[in-house]
Amino acid sequence: MILTMRIEKITQSKQPQVVFLCFDDETKLRVRASVVMDYCLYPGMELDEAQLADLTAGAKKASARARAVRMISAAATTEAALERKLVQKGEAAADARQAVQWLKDLHLLDDVQVARQLAEAAARKGYGPARLRQILYEKQVPRQYWDEALALLPDMSGALDAFLQKRFAGCQPDRKERDRAAQALLRRGHRWDDVRAALDRYCASCGEQLEENEDYEL
């Protein structure tokens, strides 16, 4: 005997584009409105076990896709990070992988482009290469794209000079002040050689020459 379930009614949820399928056994299935159209669902329609299983799987797949679109719309996201976030939000691993592949097929998900966007954002914030590497790691950008992203960072000499000018306001800093400025720039991911060169330039503009072997408390 084949068991069937009948859709008694379809009601709108509080969320746009989401509805509830209300069945004759008083159970409900939450689905995207697009699923109703895809499966040509209507009140009074009867579904057997196989059809219901297919509908449930389709609803989960549509949910993962919709969530994935919202996530990439909010922020630049890599394939690995998106899949991880989808699973963390409760999507099945298989549905998360399928949603990622679907976006890739539509050319809406591109790790190379994400790496470039992160590099451009890091440059605008005045970050150096070490900080960008940390960001690329945290965002789960594949390592084969790191070199290209790092190459997009411009020469930061001007940014370092501007930072020191703003910090010291044209005054000659003492040793502790130079140490704190160096630490701040290193936290931003700049190379020590570049930081030291910027300090040399600033101090020279104030008429002071740093000793070549001067140490800093870093």
Tokens of 67: 């969530």
Task: Note the pLDDT tens digit of each residue in 53-72.
Answer: 999 999 999 999 999 999 99
- Tell me: pLDDT of 216 over 80: no
- Three-state SS annotation for the chain: CCCEEEEEEEEECCCCCEEEEEECCCCEEEEEHHHHHHCCCCCCCEEEHHHHHHHHHHHHHHHHHHHHHHHHHHCCCCHHHHHHHHHHCCCCHHHHHHHHHHHHHCCCCCHHHHHHHHHHHHHHCCCCHHHHHHHHHHCCCCHHHHHHHHHCCCCCHHHHHHHHHHHHCCCCCCHHHHHHHHHHHHHCCCCHHHHHHHHHHHHHHCCCCCCCCCCCCC
Task: Note the pLDDT tens digit of each residue in 190-200.
Answer: 999 999 999 99
Give helix 129-138 / helix 111-124 axis angle, nearest 10°.
Answer: 140
- Per-domain residue ranges for the chain? 4-105, 111-151, 157-205
For the chain, percent of residues with pLDDT exceeding 70: 94
> Higher model confidence: residue 131 or residue 217?
131
Give the residue-averaged pLDDT of 147-164.
92
**Position of tokens 């449930």?**
56
- Tell me: pLDDT of 212 over 70: no
**What are the distances in angstroms from CA 151 to CA 77, 132, 146?**
20, 11, 9
Task: Note the pLDDT tens digit of each residue in 135-150.
Answer: 999 999 999 999 999 9
Fold of 4-105: Arc Repressor Mutant, subunit A (1.10.10)
**What are the distances in angstroms from CA 23 to CA 42, 141, 151, 211?**
11, 45, 58, 82
- pLDDT at res. 215: 55
- Tell me: pLDDT of 207 over 90: no
Give the residue-averaged pLDDT of 181-187.
94
List beta partners, residue 46. 6
